[in-house]
A = this chain, B = another copy of it.
Amino acid sequence: MLAQCSEHCAHIFHSFRENVTDSSKIQELIKLSHEAKSYAYAPYSDFKVGAALLCSDGTISTGCNVENAVYPLGICAERTAIVKAVSEGHRKFLAIAIASDMKDAIISPCGSCRQTLIEFGTEWDVYMTKSDMTYEVMKTGELLPHSFTPDSLNSEKISNAH
């Protein structure tokens, strides 16, 4: 556990120091996530969220939350950005930025979104911002330690499984 946890910490610092993308691109991504927030359809929570997803070819896909009178049917900004990108042929992502109106707190992805993010890899960057556009960054996999991944489905099962 210790070894794994040290590695975990290492990853965090790694992502701060040696990002896969240059800082002006990240600034643009963060700015777009804040702009995307303005399209949020959030009449029930009044909690608007925006996201901007950087695809491997440089394309940016934006998203916002889209709520529903039946609350469980809502879809988050991060997943909106993901499905939008996939529907346009993208499956490799470098980074996602997330924006909300929270003044003193970073907006982090919910558990459902984290699971959606790692479906497309555990090693890409999540920029969690405040309303002033300052941020913290973590790898997708760090946000869901010990995660259930596509590989889990193919894990060897016990013989008397069913």
* Residues of A that sit less than 8 Å from B by CB: 1-2, 5, 8-9, 12-13, 16, 36, 39, 41, 43-48, 62-64, 66-77, 79-84, 86-89, 91, 101-116, 118-119, 128, 131, 136, 138, 142-150, 152-153, 155-158, 161-162
Contacts and interface: CB of A to CB of B under 8 A. Distances in A.
Nearest to A155: B102
A39 B115 contact: no
Contacts of A108: 146-148
Nearest to A50: B87
A6 B155 CA distance: 31
Contacts of A39: 86-89
A101 B45 contact: no
